Structure 1
Amino acid sequence: MAQTIPSSRSCKSFKNRSMSIVLAKILLALIFLLSISKGSDGQFEDYCIADEQASEYDLLGAMNWACSNGANCTAIQESQPCYLPNTPKDHASYAFNSYYQNMKHQGGGCYFTATAVLTGADPSHDSCKFEYIP
């Protein structure tokens, strides 16, 4: 029985296809890495905000805990820059992030009984600026 030996042309075609796939994967990885928000010092920024799926009741309880345990909640008081919009989700997001930024280097997390999530997108708006501590 005769064995078929691939021609040099089919080997080159296979190598070119393999190289194209590898280059495409590298390009996709680079695009992904560039799309992630980075701080000016090269560190990836992370903010802790309220989970869209959390109930208002749970958000209020977790926000009160955060404000009593390391968050600076002054900015969400009436007539302060982060008071509006006056919703549990917006106020909890500010409180969660304040706690997280102030406490993350001492082991504080962004969980708040499953009412918070991390994001790379800066949630600041209008005159309300969310703190980021590298």
Structure 2
Amino acid sequence: MARFVLFVLLLALSTGHSSKRLSANYCLSKDGVDDDELQKALDYACGFGADCGPIQPNGPCFEPNTVKDHCNYAFNSYYLNMQSVGGTCDFAGAAAPSLTLPPNIPSGCVYPTSSSDSRVGTTPPSFDIPTPPDTNPGPIFGTSPPKVRNGSSNIKGTNATLLMFLVLAISWLTLRA
């Protein structure tokens, strides 16, 4: 019985690690989103954290010159640069995480897969500028409410310590039986 419990525990540990390999690597625009909505989201991404230099004319990612393709690059750049400070891959429903790149990327265009691959820092945008009373800025694309952490930054370490203790206790019980 103790060997079975140990086997199940080890199986659970190995399954937990494999889910990390399946996490999304890119943030891309969704199919079917109106070009006007994509343009608004693109303007936001380029203004608040994305490195949009490569999608400018003569840039390595400018072609194909479509709003959707430019959004793919900008959304991915924004998400990588801003996720550590609360940025999300949503852009008011215009984007979603993806495991694969879009199919029509030019040969010289490189999509970064981490914020360290990008040239933009991770300073969050400031929204302290007052909005004139007669305009409505609409939703703030790509952001989410701040996450309350309550000391959760060390939960993984604590869980790993507890799990290791549990494995040792079960092993000790197995050896005694």
TM superposition score category, shorter chain reference: 0.5 to 0.7
Note if 1:54 corresponds to 2:33. Answer: yes
- TM-score (structure 1 length as normaliser): 0.65
Correspondence for 1:94 among 73, 85, 109: 73
Whole-angstrom CA distance in 2 between matches of 1:78 and 1:46: 26
> What is the aligned partner in structure 2 of residue 120 from structure 1?
99
Q: CA deviation at 1:37?
A: 9.6
Contact kept, 8 Å, 1:46 with 1:121, in 2: the verdict is yes
Unaligned runs of at least 5 residues, structure 1: 1-29
- Give SS of 2:97's match: strand
Q: CA deviation at 1:44?
A: 3.6
Whole-angstrom CA distance in 1 between matches of 2:66 and 2:92: 19
Greater C-alpha Rg: 1
TM superposition outliers: structure 1 runs of 4+ over 3 Å: none
Contact kept, 8 Å, 1:101 with 1:132, in 2: the verdict is yes
Q: CA deviation at 1:45?
A: 4.5
- Give SS of 1:59's match: helix
Correspondence for 1:132 among 113, 133, 137: 113
Letter of the 1:128 counterpart: C
Q: CA deviation at 1:123?
A: 3.8
Contact kept, 8 Å, 1:110 with 1:117, in 2: the verdict is yes
Whole-angstrom CA distance in 1 between matches of 2:101 and 2:23: 11
> What is the aligned partner in structure 1 of residue 55 from structure 2?
76
Whole-angstrom CA distance in 2 between matches of 1:45 and 1:91: 19
Contact kept, 8 Å, 1:77 with 1:83, in 2: the verdict is yes
Whole-angstrom CA distance in 2 between matches of 1:61 and 1:123: 21
Unaligned runs of at least 5 residues, structure 2: 1-14, 116-177
- TM-score (structure 2 length as normaliser): 0.50
Q: CA deviation at 1:106?
A: 1.3
Whole-angstrom CA distance in 1 between matches of 2:59 and 2:45: 18
Percent same amino acid among aligned pairs? 36
What is the number of residues matched between the two proteins? 98
In angstroms, what is the RMSD of aligned CA positions?
2.4
Q: How big is each residue's C-alpha offset from its partner over 1:5-25, in whole Å with a ceiling of 9 and x where there is no partner?
A: xxxxxxxxxxxxxxxxxxxxx
